[in-house]
């Protein structure tokens, strides 16, 4: 018999896709106001894996990743996704988004993203949101899955996510020491 246990808190990570790099300052400030201080911010990643967003947002597009200092409860992910959807609308004009926000969380064993779109491997988590198991951590590194988005499986992104995982493990140790 398995014994139910409370899940560990997770490290909130939000990916941002945008054309106008100048929006990163106000957007990071707004996200920090909602979710606490930003702990780690990535360099700019070019976003040339798909043209999916170009009709709406233009091109070239860029991605930046933010990880937050305050750990979250895993069940908060659907609420967070709905907040980021509202922020996307705030930064929209004429029915077109200027930013795309991809919230997710880091655990020792996996990286999960939130989405409003159902698919075979996604699990419903409430509030009209699904959890997408994006990467798993095994044998000292992240492993992509058949459905992992290409921009989350390139070496520079995996290296950045490994840094977030390392920081998350350090955060857990410090929390347990208190």
pLDDT in tens, 12-48: 999 999 999 999 999 999 999 999 999 999 999 988 8
pTM score, whole prediction: 0.96
pLDDT at residue 145 in the model: 98
Query: Average pLDDT of 8-15?
Result: 98
pLDDT, one tens digit per residue, over 78-136 is: 999 999 999 999 999 999 999 999 999 999 999 999 999 999 999 999 999 999 999 99
pLDDT at residue 30 in the model: 98
| Beta strands in the chain, from DSSP E residues, in sequence order | 10-18, 38-41, 45-46, 62-72, 92-93, 96-97, 99-106, 110-115, 122-126, 129-138, 141-144
pLDDT range class, residue 178, cuts 50, 70, 90:
confident
Rounded to an integer, what distance in angstroms lies between the CA atom of residue 22 and that of residue 82?
24
Strand partners for 2: none
Count Cβ atoms below 10 Å from residue 7 Cβ, excluding itself: 10
């Amino acid at each position: 018999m398995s014994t139910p246990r409370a899940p560990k808190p997770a490290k909130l990570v939000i990916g941002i896709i945008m054309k106008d790099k100048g929006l990163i300052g106000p957007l990071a400030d707004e996200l920090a106001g909602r979710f606490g201080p930003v702990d780690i911010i990535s360099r700019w990643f070019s976003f040339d894996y798909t043209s999916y967003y170009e009709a709406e947002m233009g091109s070239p597009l860029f991605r930046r990743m933010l990880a937050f200092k305050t750990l979250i409860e895993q069940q908060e992910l659907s609420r967070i996704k709905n907040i980021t959807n509202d922020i996307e609308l705030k930064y929209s004009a004429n029915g077109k988004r200027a930013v795309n926000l991809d919230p997710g969380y880091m655990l020792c064993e996996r990286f999960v993203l939130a989405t409003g779109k159902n698919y075979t491997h996604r699990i419903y988590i409430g509030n009209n949101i699904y959890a997408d198991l994006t990467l798993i951590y095994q044998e000292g590194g992240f492993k992509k899955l058949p459905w992992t988005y290409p921009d989350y499986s390139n070496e520079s992104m995996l290296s950045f996510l490994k840094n977030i995982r390392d920081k998350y493990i350090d955060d857990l140790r410090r929390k347990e020491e208190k």
